């Protein structure tokens, strides 16, 4: 496919539009969004008033065929990941949200039909999801990439798809790679699966993979865990956070980050969570991007946790404009089964021939790193500080579940929980008893 400097885009499951933040500065033109959730839709309306939000993605094929919306060069999306994550019990295609992944393929087919009738190249496809889709028990990923490639039946593996790979079929070429945002300038460990696909003259491997020239790709640097900023004292528990999750604003007590401390901060000897502003920075969004009228903190946390890491999407956008040279087309050993060519690049650094190594790992060739000092703000809402009762609850739950807690965090939790009054303890115990009764448990 010839290089273009300008691409039109249709966005499915748009959320708060990390793709627009990443790609609009590169010259990409967004034709339409598709989002049904209330708060993200309000963000889209305020930030992008001239771009139509068409709502439910199920309607897109008919809208395309009836020429109600344009058929863009690129369709990007991240169909609901809950069906493929541990939080969603990994029901995969048995979950209606998982079936939206196959509806995404229907959208691509409709878009291609319009484009081909107009003498245009097939759609460039960009899809993002959680790593869990690679081990989904219903083989959702195999169904997805096989459908894109045009295979008569879904490919299967022995329970797990590789973290990087390629599939060339009779209809499309498909490539995928897991990348971690902590190597793209964000101090957040956020591994996500990125898939690109297109017609037989489109080579997604030249976008997602890189020629490997650096002998040892760097690890995340050890930044100071204690520092001052604008006259205030800060302490963090790790140089980068765990993955920001959508329920961060409401459910933090039982999450792994509540035990390793990566999503907690000590500010002037008080323990707190990250603010929505800090979470925007942690995801690569502009400051106050989600601070719209009537926005609640929980709305902002959820929308950001469900979004994409902006610098990773920008890196991919730049490579869509300037892909790697097509040196991969012939040197890759063919593994043909009729019209199928499949490659497992799970080892990260792949030897193509005596002269070429291919980087398919979670790290790009040129890593950049973010510092939590730049993320944190000195002016935060008082409601995000963890109360003595909250600290006591974290400790109690970790003990009940026999979970290890970061030693420094454990010390802080103990110090703050000791400030609980007798009345606080009684209220906490009563709340625990009510919770056990509601679950049908015996109260000890």
Quote the tokens at residue 97. 């949200």
301, 440: one domain = no
347, 399: one domain = no
In contact, 233 and 271? CB cutoff 8 Å = no
Taking only Cα atoms into account, the Rg of the chain, rounded to an integer number of angstroms, comes to 23
211, 324: one domain = yes
368, 391: one domain = no
The pTM (predicted TM-score) of the whole model is: 0.91
- What SS3 class is residue 139? coil
pLDDT at 336 over 90: no
Please compute the mean of the pLDDT values over residues 306-329 and round it to a whole number: 87
pLDDT at 251 over 80: no
338, 441: one domain = no
376, 395: one domain = no
pLDDT at 198 over 70: yes
Please compute the mean of the pLDDT values over residues 227-245 and round it to a whole number: 96
Asked which of 342, 365, 386 is the last residue of a domain, the reply is 386
54, 176: one domain = yes
Asked which of 386, 412, 428 is the last residue of a domain, the reply is 386
Taking the C-alpha atoms of residue 335 and residue 364, their distance in angstroms, rounded to an integer, is 26
- Specify the pLDDT at position 439: 54
Predicted confidence band of residue 432 (pLDDT cuts 50, 70, 90): low
Taking the C-alpha atoms of residue 398 and residue 404, their distance in angstroms, rounded to an integer, is 7
pLDDT in tens, 282-307: 999 999 999 999 899 999 999 999 99
Tell the residue number behind the tokens 């056990």, with chain if given: 436
pLDDT in tens, 367-401: 999 999 999 999 999 999 999 998 998 898 888 88
How many domains does the chain divide into? 2
Angle 397-424-416 from CA coordinates, rounded to 5°: 65
pLDDT at 423 over 90: no
398, 348: one domain = no
Residues 6+ apart with CB under 8 A from 5: 27, 321
Torsion of CA 248, 249, 250, 255, to 10 degrees: 20
The DSSP code sequence of 168-185 is E-SS-EEEEEEEEGGGBT
Q: Give CA 242 to chain center in angstroms.
A: 12
Q: Give CA 206 to chain center in angstroms.
A: 22
Please compute the mean of the pLDDT values over residues 267-275 and round it to a whole number: 96
pLDDT in tens, 9-61: 999 999 999 999 999 999 999 999 999 999 999 999 999 999 999 999 999 99
- Specify the pLDDT at position 164: 97
Q: What is the domain extent for residue 414? A: 387-444
Asked which of 340, 367, 386 is the last residue of a domain, the reply is 386
Tell the residue number behind the tokens 């009684």, with chain if given: 426
300, 425: one domain = no
38, 79: one domain = yes
Residues 6+ apart with CB under 8 A from 66: none
């Amino acid at each position: 496919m010839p290089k273009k400097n300008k691409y039109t885009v249709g966005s499915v499951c748009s959320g708060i539009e990390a793709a627009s933040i990443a790609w609009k500065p590169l010259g990409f033109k967004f034709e339409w969004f598709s989002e049904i959730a209330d708060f993200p839709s309000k963000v889209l309306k305020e930030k992008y008033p001239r771009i139509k939000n068409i709502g439910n993605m199920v309607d897109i094929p008919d809208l395309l065929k009836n020429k109600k919306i344009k058929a863009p060069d690129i369709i990007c999306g991240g169909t609901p990941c809950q069906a493929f994550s541990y939080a969603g019990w990994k029901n995969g295609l048995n979950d209606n949200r998982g079936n939206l992944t196959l509806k995404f393929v229907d959208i691509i087919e409709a878009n291609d039909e319009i484009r081909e009738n107009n003498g245009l190249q097939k759609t460039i496809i960009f899809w993002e999801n959680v790593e869990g889709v690679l081990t989904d028990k219903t083989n959702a990923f195999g169904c997805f990439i096989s459908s894109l490639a045009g295979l008569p039946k879904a490919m299967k593996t022995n329970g797990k798809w590789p973290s990087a790979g390629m599939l060339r079929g009779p209809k499309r070429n498909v490539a995928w790679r897991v990348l971690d945002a902590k190597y793209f300038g964000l101090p957040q460990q956020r591994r996500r699966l990125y898939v690109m696909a297109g017609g037989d003259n489109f080579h997604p491997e030249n976008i997602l993979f890189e020629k490997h020239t650096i002998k040892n790709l760097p690890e995340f640097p050890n930044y100071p865990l204690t520092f001052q900023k604008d006259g205030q004292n800060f302490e963090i528990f790790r140089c980068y956070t765990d993955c920001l999750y959508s329920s961060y604003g409401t459910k933090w007590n039982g999450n792994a980050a509540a035990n390793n401390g990566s999503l907690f901060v000590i500010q002037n000897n008080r323990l707190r969570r990250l603010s929505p502003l800090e979470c925007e920075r942690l995801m690569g969004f502009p400051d106050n991007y989600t601070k719209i009228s009537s926005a609640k903190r929980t709305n902002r946390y959820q929308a950001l946790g469900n979004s994409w890491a902006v610098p990773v999407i920008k890196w991919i956008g730049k490579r869509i404009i300037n892909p790697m040279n097509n040196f991969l087309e012939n040197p890759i050993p063919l593994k043909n089964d009729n019209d199928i060519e499949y490659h497992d690049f799970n080892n990260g650094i792949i030897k193509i021939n005596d002269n070429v190594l291919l980087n398919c790992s979670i790290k790009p060739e040129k890593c950049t790193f973010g510092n939590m000092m730049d993320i944190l703000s000195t002016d935060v809402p008082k409601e995000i500080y963890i109360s003595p009762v909250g600290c006591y609850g974290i400790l109690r739950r970790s003990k009940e579940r026999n979970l290890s807690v970061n030693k420094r965090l454990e010390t802080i939790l103990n110090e703050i929980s000791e400030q609980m009054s007798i009345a606080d303890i009684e209220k906490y115990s009563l709340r625990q008893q009510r919770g056990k009764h509601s679950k049908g448990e015996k109260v000890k």
